[in-house]
């Protein structure tokens, strides 16, 4: 575990790919409309748009910075807590859930936050299931990310900032971490109910992690 904590390899690789994609996006802006999510063209055979929206950040530089930072920190926590194979599964789960919802709701755009949500949602459920023990700051990173998305979804960037500050306060005021993690579940429910892509992706990660946790428990019992 210590070696994994020192080197979250799959997270580092994902961040490297995201950096290269960001450089390409700004060096050749013409690639953005070719790669971004465009619900109207799937039926014409442009199936690559089911995956390529992960590589372009269509909201501008602040989306690039925010997603790079959160991919690095949330990704590292997910890799430390769940391992590399489950990391990949959760990353894919968040992507699939978010893309299905986006195309169903006819939402254009791009960004890898839906994949990061899969990781965050997975960590929340993994910890609630007692499959790992996380430090206060690891819990704070994941719950703070979910809180920030919730604030952003309901009130924009200022609300996101307030949500992060509130998370920090709660993390140090409430000793019971399950209570804090359940708060992330409640935020996920609120986002999903209001048809927010992040909520769907978080939920996808949570459901996937629950399946993985139950499968692991069954294997242990059978053994």
For the stretch 163-179, pLDDT in tens is: 999 998 988 887 777 88
User: Span 2-222: which CATH code?
Assistant: 1.20.1540.10
For the stretch 24-69, pLDDT in tens is: 999 999 999 999 999 888 888 899 999 999 999 998 898 999 999 9
Measured CA to CA in angstroms, residue 32 lies from 60, 108, 147, 164 at distances of: 11, 12, 29, 31
- Count of other CB atoms within 10 angstroms of residue 157: 12
What's the whole-model pTM score? Answer: 0.92
**pLDDT of the residue at 210:** 96
For the stretch 186-215, pLDDT in tens is: 999 999 999 999 999 999 999 999 999 998
12 falls in which pLDDT band (50, 70, 90)? very high
Q: Tell me which of 116-120, 125-129, 146-150, 213-217 is least confident.
A: 213-217
From 34, 42, 82, select the one nearest 91 (Cα to Cα): 82
**pLDDT of the residue at 115:** 98
- Count of other CB atoms within 10 angstroms of residue 65: 12
> Which has the higher per-residue pLDDT, 45 or 142?
142
98 falls in which pLDDT band (50, 70, 90)? very high
């Amino acid at each position: 575990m210590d070696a994994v904590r020192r080197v979250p390899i799959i997270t580092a690789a994902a961040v490297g790919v995201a950096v290269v994609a960001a450089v390409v996006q700004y060096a050749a802006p013409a690639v953005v409309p070719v790669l971004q999510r465009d619900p109207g063209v799937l039926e014409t055979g442009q199936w690559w748009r089911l995956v390529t929206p992960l590589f372009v950040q269509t909201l501008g530089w602040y989306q690039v910075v925010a997603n790079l930072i959160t991919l690095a920190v949330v990704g590292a926590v997910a890799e430390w807590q769940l391992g590399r194979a489950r990391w990949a599964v959760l990353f894919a789960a968040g992507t699939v859930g978010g893309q299905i919802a986006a195309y169903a709701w006819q939402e254009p755009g791009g960004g890898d936050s839906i994949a990061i949500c899969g990781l965050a949602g997975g960590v929340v459920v993994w910890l609630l299931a007692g499959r790992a023990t996380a430090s206060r700051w690891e819990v704070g990173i994941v719950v703070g990310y979910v809180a920030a998305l919730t604030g952003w979804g309901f009130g924009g960037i200022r609300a996101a900032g307030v949500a992060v500050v509130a998370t920090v306060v709660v993390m140090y005021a409430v000793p019971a971490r399950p209570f804090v993690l359940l708060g992330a579940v409640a935020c996920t429910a609120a986002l999903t109910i209001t048809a927010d892509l992040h909520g769907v992706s978080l939920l996808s990660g949570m459901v996937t992690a629950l399946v993985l946790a139950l499968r692991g428990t069954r294997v242990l019992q059978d053994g």
